[in-house]
Amino acid sequence: MIRVEELTKEFTRPKRQAGRFGGLRTLVTREVERTTAVGGVSFRVRPAEVVGYLGPNGAGKSTTIKMMTGILVPTSGTVEVGGVVPWKERQRNALQIGVVFGQRTQLWWDLPLRDSLDLIATLYRMPAPVYRVRLERFVDMLDMSEFLGRPVRQLSLGQRMRGDLAAAMLYQPRILYLDEPTIGLDVVAKATMREFIAEVNREHGTTVVLTTHDLSDVERLCSRVILIDHGRVLYDGTVAELKSRYAPYRTLVLRLADGSDRLQLDPADVAALGAEVVPAAVGADDDGAVRLRFEGERTAASDLIAGLAARYPIADLSIVEPELEGVVHQIYSHRGLPL
């Protein structure tokens, strides 16, 4: 559905001159600063896939999305969306894509929400009965009846975003680009948005490309993630594989019975069972729990627990699964893949 190859976008800006009359000299000099926002990104998205396109601020996510929508012309490389080169046939491409930018709105600020949706239905030449039925369904799914007649400028952020999502999907495009759609929303609004996206994907096979900083969006919606930074792809694969490759460790948290302390736990015993003791983080609250980590693929949790129970008085235990958040945090802060 989407094919991105060696996509590169460089921005040039007049170089700011420092010092006296800096502003004036900036205006008259021809020196430019070149920044590479996207540097040779390639990936493919299959129909009906929901892909999380992740990266830290300034990684080049929005720039890629803008090139996929045809709004930005790339410096080099190609994008093909459903057989259309977006920036060459911008208006034809417009018919097959829906766009939500969390920081902006496509709704008319001073008009009631319904008027904006009416206008979009006209622009995409929807037959009136189709529009009526779909609007009714969207109003129901996104719980919009209360504010449909209110000017957009008076809506809360959550209400406005629901309106924006409805606007983007109204004409049932086969591709949906969501650029930080849940930014700044409360939990309830987030959940409504996610349900709606999952629903249109399931029902109509809509292909979705989602950028977000909220990894629970990704865990809830995406089968696949593409991680980028500095304009380059760092990882492309399933969420599960990302975790097992870069966060292979499961953590066993256990509390020994009263009167025991963790020093009684012999590291050699633990190692024999295929796990290791996680040193307590400096400055962390000592909650009296011991943390052991083990690789889920090599050590079975049941064996480990049975082995430990045979030697030590265990009062309580739980297993913590690796979190996407931790993996991504690690990748972002290393500015590269951990080994």
Under the rule (CB under 8 A), what is the footprint of other proteins? 11, 47, 61-63, 66, 69-73, 82-84, 89-97, 99, 101, 103-106, 108, 110-111, 115, 118-119, 122-125, 151, 174, 179, 204-205
The nearer residue to other proteins, 208 or 254, going by C-beta atoms, is 208
Whether the CB-CB separation of 217 and 225 falls below 8 Å is answered with: no
Nearest to other proteins of 118, 195 (CB atom): 118
**DSSP helix/strand/coil, 144:** coil
Using the minimum distance from each CB to other proteins, give the nearer residue, 122 or 330: 122
326 φ, ψ to 5°?
Answer: -65, -40
Residue closer to other proteins (CB basis): 20 or 125: 125
b/e code 259-282 from CB counts within 10 Å (16+ = b) = ebebeebeeeebeebebeeeeeee
Residue 143 CB, nearest approach to other proteins (Å) = 24
Please report how close the Cβ of residue 305 comes to other proteins at its closest, in angstroms: 49
**Distance spanning both ends of the chain, measured CA to CA:** 33
Q: CB under 8 Å to 3, separation ≥6 — which residues?
A: 44, 78, 79, 80, 81
Shortest distance in whole angstroms from residue 55 CB to other proteins: 12
The nearest distance, CB 108 to other proteins, in angstroms, is 6
CA torsion 294-299-305-311 (nearest 10°) is -90
- Would you say 111 or 301 has its CB closer to other proteins? 111
Q: How far is the CB of 93 from other proteins (least distance, A)?
A: 8
- DSSP 3-state assignment of 148? coil
**104 vs 311, which CB is nearer to other proteins?**
104
Distance CA 252, CA 315 (A): 13
3-state helix vs strand vs coil in the chain, percent to 5: 40, 25, 35
Residue with tokens 């799914």: 141
CB of residue 133 to other proteins, shortest distance in Å: 13
